[in-house]
Amino acid sequence: MTTTEAAPKPAPVPEGSRTVTLKIQRFNPEVDDAPHFETYDVPALPTDRVLNLLFYVKNYLDGSFAFRRSCAHGVCGSDAMRINGVNRLACKVLMKDMFAANGKQTTLTIEPIKGLPLEKDLYVDMEPFFEAYRAIKPYLMTYGNDPTRERIQSAADRARFDDTTKCILCACCTTSCPVYWSEGSYFGPAAIVNAHRFIFDSRDEGAEERLDILNDVEGVWRCRTTFNCTDACPRGIQVTKAIQEVKRALLFKRT
Amino acid sequence: MAEVERLPYDVVVIGAGGAGLRAVIEARQRGHRVAVVCKSLFGKAHTVMAEGGCAASMGNVNDNDNWQVHFRDTMRGGKFLNNWRMAELHAKEAPDRVWELETYGALFDRTADGRISQRNFGGHTYPRLAHVGDRTGLELIRTMQQKVVSLQQEDHAATGDYEANIKVFAECTVTELFTEGDRVTGALAYWRESGRFVVFEAPSIVLATGGIGKSFQVTSNSWEYTGDGHALAARAGASLINMEFVQFHPTGMVWPPSVKGILVTEGVRGDGGVLRNAEGKRFMFDYVPEVFKGQYAESEEEADRWYADQNANRRTPDLLPRDEVARAINAEVKAGRGSPHGGVFLDIASRMSAEEIKRRLPSMYHQFKELADVDITAEPMEVGPTCHYVMGGIEVDPDSGAAAGVRGLFAAGECSGGMHGSNRLGGNSLSDLLVFGRRAGLGAANHVESGAGDTGIPQAEVDAAMERALAPVTAEQGENPYTVHAELQQTMNELVGIIRTEAEIADAIGKLETFKQRVAGVSVNGVREFNPGWHLALDLRNMLLVSECVARAALERTESRGGHTREDYPGMRAPWRNQLIQCLYTGGGVRLHTVDQVPMRTDLLELFEYEELQKYFTEEELTGLATGATTGKE
């Protein structure tokens, strides 16, 4: 169904665009018992991102369609969603990579990320995700007095944990993890990545404390190394590797 | 109307970007209960988009740097219209704020001896920007988010309640401030998720809502930048200053259309990238303005030597302040020497190895690869001006951030005005957030401690405010807010953009008047839960108010200075230098009031060469100042 209400002017169709079908999961808690799919035909240029198409739906076809977005170029991590079954940031998926071959009709299925409570349309409640993040004490822990200027850190020490500082807390990794889907109490990859960021920071003195937290029954040992998280990370963080390093740190600590 | 939840706090901070969070931390450290209210998810504020770095004269890379040099650079960048006291506090305190952030745990790129590294940027004499690759803003906000989490865990250990002293209200929008006489008493907000209202009652409110870029069509700003704090303050009776000064960042992406306006960091030029026109010429050498003659290299050879030896050579004019570079690009495109998609070329590929580019500018490499299919290690980028920052904002007391005209109201960061004068230097935004975020937090705390009085808000006022907020939902058959928004953006971009004329600004003001009727009549479909149409309808009111301020002030200022260029009044005019145009909201519209700035202290004036001051000040202003004033290097 394509809705046309609330569009006072005909929606613009840019030159060189082709029509793409968006199959979007919609849910309005006020009136719907369960989520359902609606389809919208929208024009797409090869240089459009999926985010542009979602805006088209919202601006011209149905003004009540709700999804999170902010910076629109992959830095803030607000627009994580399932696009054709894979967790991606809508602002970083180019349509030229999504068009069906041989001029066939392109259909994109858009769903909210899995494993978090659904609120409306593509909005999910992020609180459980942030709760896990906070649980690993994501801040520098030091003892003794702060220096008057900066702490000294060599380029090599700084490089040691560079990869895991790139996290934008978008939840693509955590909500792609089959363990997280089935056992919501699992910390999930993002929390472990953020623990890694401090455990391997040469300035931090709280590694023991964090490792104890992650050694918990809901901690790193739940990871079954399926690599979904690494594939899903829009920042290219080696998530599974970071989890493995935390596991090794725990094993080393025990011996 | 239905019963609405009332929440008493000592301090309410509106906005959870860099300035807001720094204010939260300060007020909490002073023992106060703080609410922080933000439109986005916590930790996703616009500050994440700052790339290049945070300016502070730590002198880690060039030990000639000190606060006096930073102060001079900032005043020059703002063409001496800056509030000099703010520029002074900023230059003096920025290093402490960066070191403090490092002790909170912030990651920085390091020098060979392990100190915080600093990079070159436009308008800064020495390498001055503390940075993490090209994602400094992300790290800054993450660090303060982490600090807030650690304070909440401290509070939990002490009281059993994580939210005893800091509570975050994420995805919650403030629609109005409540006042009683000349003091603020609270704010009305609604949860974006449920559409339910909540009333905050507090003696101190800090506005840290950022900028106004979403009023323009081509902008590097995100959806949050709708001038909320500017508009809330103006409606509450505060004055806005310098609203005519809007910064167009010289280098935004120009292609493909879907990403037009997205920022390309100035760090590209800071690290060696150069601008070229369609003929391959480094055109910036032709655009060094009179006031900066002698401070920049005059040949490509000298400019290139400067990267290796800064003491014997002058810097490349590619690193002139942003207003100069944006106008130069505009002129090149107009003269027919632009790139295929209406910009100019930014070349880093021929300047350093692919490996070095990927190491220094990873986000830029990925941004162009993924969004434009351009490999910046092999080909030049196409860039052009994009609306980036508003210098204008809420008029504040420099030391405390107190808003002029409304007791208990404070402002910090982009929504405050004065610090950057007519043009902000790159890197001075993140340092501004830290310095004045902290000061506003302190100011708010002091105000609470001064016994500001009770904050009871009459129910009738709350009901009326809710009714105003719900108007787009209850209205029927009104216009789609997206249509009005698109036309507003087009109007501001085309008529009050980078180059302005009297006729065009007047045309814009006429259009804005017609938008007032249309905005008042918009209606939205559906329910109050996460209804983006409703959210936009409310944001639109704010955008319209700030757009009127920008347009009216732009018409008033009959000269060209910094981020305000009048084709019909080219060049700076000294009598305008100390004039501030205040914008006051009167109910139906915006009224202007022009006032003198406080004259700069003599010891600060004496930091400049007399000959340089003569380029900006009237003779009258300089009488009594020794003509042999020297450049302080202490």
Q: Do A139 and A222 have their domain in common?
A: yes
Residue B148 has pLDDT above 70, yes or no: yes
For B310-339, the pLDDT digits (tens) are: 889 999 999 999 999 999 999 999 999 999
Q: Do A168 and A86 have their domain in common?
A: no
Q: Which of the listed residues A123, A158, A183 is the one where a domain comes to its end? A: A123
The pLDDT of residue B413 is 98
Residue B435 has pLDDT above 80, yes or no: yes
Task: Choose the mutation target among B44, B139, B363 for the interface with A, i.e. most A CBs under 10 Å.
Answer: B44
The pLDDT of residue A255 is 40
The pLDDT of residue A20 is 97
Q: Do A194 and A117 have their domain in common?
A: no
Q: Do A245 and A157 have their domain in common?
A: yes
- Which chain A residues touch B218 with a CB distance below 8 Å? none
Q: Residue A72's pLDDT band (boundaries 50, 70, 90)?
A: confident
The pLDDT of residue B588 is 84
Residue B245 CB: number of other CB atoms within 10 A? 30
Cis omega (within 30 of 0) on the bond before B256? yes
- Joined together, the tokens standing for residue A35 give 């989520």
Angstroms from B360 CA to nearest CA on chain A: 13
Q: Do A130 and A119 have their domain in common?
A: no
Q: Residue B633's pLDDT band (boundaries 50, 70, 90)?
A: very low
The pLDDT of residue B1 is 53
The 8-class DSSP code of residue A60 comes to I
Give mean pLDDT, residues B557-573.
Answer: 97
Distance from C-alpha of B49 to C-alpha of B433, rounded to nearest angstrom: 14
Q: Do A148 and A67 have their domain in common?
A: no
- The CATH number covering residue A146 comes to 1.10.1060.10
- Chain-chain contact of A165 with B41 (C-beta, under 8 angstroms): no
The pLDDT of residue B628 is 54
Report how many helices (DSSP H) and strands (DSSP E) chain A contains, helices first.
8, 7
Give mean pLDDT, residues B214-230.
Answer: 96
Topology classification of domain B1-245+391-598: FAD/NAD(P)-binding domain (3.50.50)
- Chain-chain contact of B146 with A139 (C-beta, under 8 angstroms): yes
Task: Choose the mutation target among B103, B134, B154, B531 for the interface with A, i.e. most A CBs under 10 Å.
Answer: B103
Instruction: Name the pairing type of β-strands B54-55 and B129-130.
Output: antiparallel
For B583-601, the pLDDT digits (tens) are: 999 988 999 999 999 999 9
For B506-555, the pLDDT digits (tens) are: 999 999 999 999 999 999 877 787 888 999 999 999 999 999 999 999 99
Residue A10 has pLDDT above 90, yes or no: no
Give mean pLDDT, residues A147-160.
Answer: 95
Lowest mean pLDDT among A213-222, B147-156, B573-582: A213-222
Q: Do A144 and A238 have their domain in common?
A: yes
Q: Which of the listed residues A123, A150, A179 is the one where a domain comes to its end? A: A123
- Which chain B residues touch A78 with a CB distance below 8 Å? 40-41, 44
Residue B218 has pLDDT above 70, yes or no: yes
Residue A253 has pLDDT above 80, yes or no: no
Mean of pLDDT over chain A: 92
Please tell me the total count of domains within chain A: 2
pTM, full prediction: 0.95
The pLDDT of residue A254 is 52
Q: Which CATH number fits domain B248-385: 3.40.50.920, 3.40.50.620, 3.90.700.10, 1.10.287.130?
A: 3.90.700.10
Residue A3 has pLDDT above 50, yes or no: no
Q: Where are the alpha helices (DSSP H) in A136-238?
A: 155-160, 178-182, 189-199, 207-214, 228-232
Q: Residue B348's pLDDT band (boundaries 50, 70, 90)?
A: very high
Q: Do A135 and A248 have their domain in common?
A: yes
Residue A5 has pLDDT above 50, yes or no: no
ipTM of the complex: 0.93
Distance from C-alpha of A62 to C-alpha of B25, rounded to nearest angstrom: 41
For B47-68, the pLDDT digits (tens) are: 999 989 999 999 999 999 999 9
The pLDDT of residue B82 is 98
Fold match between domain B1-245+391-598 and domain B248-385? no
Q: Do A114 and A58 have their domain in common?
A: yes
Q: Do A68 and A149 have their domain in common?
A: no
Distance from C-alpha of B632 to C-alpha of B634, rounded to nearest angstrom: 6
Give mean pLDDT, residues A155-169.
Answer: 95
Give mean pLDDT, residues B376-382.
Answer: 96
Q: Do A6 and A113 have their domain in common?
A: yes
Annotated domain spans of chain B:
1-245+391-598, 248-385, 602-634
Decide if B48 contacts B531 (C-beta within 8 A). Answer: no
Domain span including residue A24: 2-123
Q: Do A226 and A199 have their domain in common?
A: yes
